[in-house]
Structure 1
Amino acid sequence: MDASQLRAELAQYSNGFDCTYHHSLVKTFLYSPGAQCFAQNAGGGAYWMLDILATQPEVKAAVKQHGFVVVILDVVGSKAVLTVARDYSANEGDQGVDAGGTFDQIGFQQTIDYTDCPAGIWKFYISGGVLMLPTEY
């Protein structure tokens, strides 16, 4: 699925959610149907992102400290940077698409050397211990 197809698919997920999914190894890490859709359909699958968020102690510490954090997956070409921070201020580019931004209080950041995830900035929230799309918040 390319970026525009994935964004169209994710647009279906809005106004909260009725169920959550448990991470297969870390049962306390939950994610929404929209986050599940992203993990399943981003490139050949982006479950690796869920694995990182579920298992990194710095992510858990940031969520515990702030209660709400922003997760940004910034994909350029075949590389990406996964960042978890207290807040993120986007700079809008053409057609309102996020063109990068600034972070407040980064709790975790990791460079991903290879991904087939579609290029772009993919934004998520972790609130109440659940990873979700901003439209599901």
Structure 2
Amino acid sequence: MLMVKTRLGVSAIAGIGLFADQDIPKGTETWRFMRHFDRLLTEREIDSLPEPARSSILDHTYLDAASGLFVLCADNARFMNHADEPNTAGVHEKGAIEGYDIAIRDIRAGEEMTCDYRTFDAHVGVKLGGK
């Protein structure tokens, strides 16, 4: 669940992106996994969906390697794009799905919020095409 004010907009990175709608100081918690808000899905549940729902879900989830579950953010956090040098980073305990993200530098209102998919998504090769 997003913990800061955001908006969606056209991204120079990829299609739609998530943008800060306020100045966010370095160290601010920007997102937190909320068990009763965000969804956890099994591969079987996703595979049972018809196209294009299955492809859409896979595009907007991340795969937690430890649990084998796909995490679907219930809010606009699912539109956060990848960057090799992101402005947010995850703080997660090893083996736990639960965690949170923080701003790793000051983020200005209007700036696209990004994360590094390679640090948390076991399905990253599909999204980034082997990057």
TM-score class, shorter-chain normalisation, is under 0.3
Q: TM-score, normalised by structure 2?
A: 0.26
Query: Which protein has the bigger strand share?
Result: 1
